[in-house]
């Protein structure tokens, strides 16, 4: 009886031990095949290190980065030119320039001043609806901002970006043009970190001087070999000469074998 009792006790212990081992094996199998949510992600493919976020200037926020180099080239090829329009939108001149562009089947890039965009959201939306692109031209159009603190440059660029985006109904500017070309390394990298390519120009039509329609047309024709990006204005004063000049320049450019594109991104 004692021996029989001993064997029964031992058998129970052995069975219990085997049960524990079996549970452990099943648990290991289950975790290996299915695992937790974390385990699923770990086994979903080859292990790759997490992508490093691009360096952000102070005050920047995450966005698709673009080159911080100042763009001049056109995305349309060797014979393509970029029409860029600065300082608007303006309720008198922007609609007229939009009409001239429409009549000639030309798309342009509009570099807008933030408060102007905020004051005329209908014009910003009209520019976008017509297939043109938006560009950030700061809040105050301060041509001396390259000598100002970085905090000031940031405020000028990012506040204008926000104003333009809100006025457009959510379409963000794709470029940043410093007033008077007053770029700094900081402002270029800040704009690029927000998805806005710094944008220069090759030909200044000098329409801002209002020297006459013929003078604007002659300047463009004389300097067209300088490069593809042309600068005009739809804000900052009377732009009737610009409207008239574009009516001549756009057909002439086509006659010369030029096409029209956007600045490279």
Residue 149 lies in a domain: yes
Of 120, 137, 141, 233, the catalytic one is 233
In the predicted model, what is the mean pLDDT of residues 180-197?
Answer: 98
Per-residue pLDDT, 233: 98
Which pLDDT score, from 0 to 100, does residue 54 have? 36
Residue-averaged pLDDT of the chain:
83
More confident residue, 208 or 21: 208
Higher per-residue pLDDT: 219 or 35: 219
Among candidate residues 86, 87, 90, 234, the one labeled active-site is 86
pLDDT of residue 182: 98
Q: Of 47-61, 65-79, 117-131, 235-249, which gets the smallest average pLDDT? A: 47-61
92 domain-assigned = yes
Q: What is the mean pLDDT of residues 245-249?
A: 98
pLDDT tens for each residue of 38-85: 222 222 222 223 333 333 433 344 455 799 999 999 999 999 999 999
User: Catalytic site residue 90?
Assistant: no
Specify if 70 maps to a domain: no
pLDDT of residue 250 exceeding 80: yes
- Asked, for residue 61, whether it belongs to a domain, the answer is no
Query: Is residue 56, in this structure, part of any structural domain at all?
Result: no
C-alpha triplet 13, 14, 20: angle, nearest 5°: 90
Confidence at 35, pLDDT banded by 50, 70, 90: very low
Query: How many other CB atoms are there within 10 angstroms of residue 19's CB atom?
Result: 10
> In this predicted structure, what is the pLDDT of residue 61?
46
Domain count across the chain: 1
Is 86 labeled as catalytic in the residue annotation? yes
Is 102 contained in some domain? yes
Instruction: Classify residue 226: in a domain, yes or no.
Output: yes
What's the CATH number where 135 sits?
Answer: 3.20.20.370
Whether residue 23 is contained in a domain is answered as no
What's the confidence (pLDDT) of residue 65? Answer: 75
Q: 205 lies in which domain range?
A: 80-260
% of the chain beyond a pLDDT of 90: 75
β-strands 80-86, 133-136 pairing: unpaired
């Amino acid at each position: 009886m004692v021996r029989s009792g001993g064997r029964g006790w031992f058998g129970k212990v052995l069975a219990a031990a085997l049960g524990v081992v079996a549970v452990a094996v099943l648990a290991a199998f289950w975790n290996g095949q299915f695992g937790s949510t974390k385990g699923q992600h770990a086994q979903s493919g080859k292990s790759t290190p997490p992508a490093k976020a691009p360096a952000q200037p102070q005050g920047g926020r995450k966005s698709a980065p673009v080159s911080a180099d100042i763009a001049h080239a056109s995305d349309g090829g060797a014979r393509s030119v970029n029409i860029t329009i600065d300082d608007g939108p303006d309720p008198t001149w922007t609609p007229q320039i939009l009409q001239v562009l429409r009549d000639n089947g030309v798309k342009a890039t509009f570099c807008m001043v933030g408060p102007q965009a905020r004051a005329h959201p209908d014009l910003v939306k009209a520019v976008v609806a017509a297939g043109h692109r938006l560009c950030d031209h700061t809040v105050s159009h301060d041509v001396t901002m390259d000598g100002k603190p970085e905090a000031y440059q940031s405020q000028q660029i990012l506040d204008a970006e926000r104003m333009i985006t809100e006025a457009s109904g959510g379409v963000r500017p794709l470029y940043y043009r410093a007033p008077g070309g007053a770029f700094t390394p900081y402002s270029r990298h800040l704009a690029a970190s927000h998805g806005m390519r710094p944008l220069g120009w090759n030909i200044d039509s000098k329409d801002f001087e209002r020297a006459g329609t013929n003078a604007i047309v002659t300047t463009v024709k004389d300097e067209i070999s300088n490069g593809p990006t042309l600068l005009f204005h739809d804000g900052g004063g009377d732009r009737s000469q610009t409207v008239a000049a574009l009516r001549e320049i756009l057909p002439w450019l086509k006659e010369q074998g030029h096409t029209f594109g956007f600045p490279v991104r």
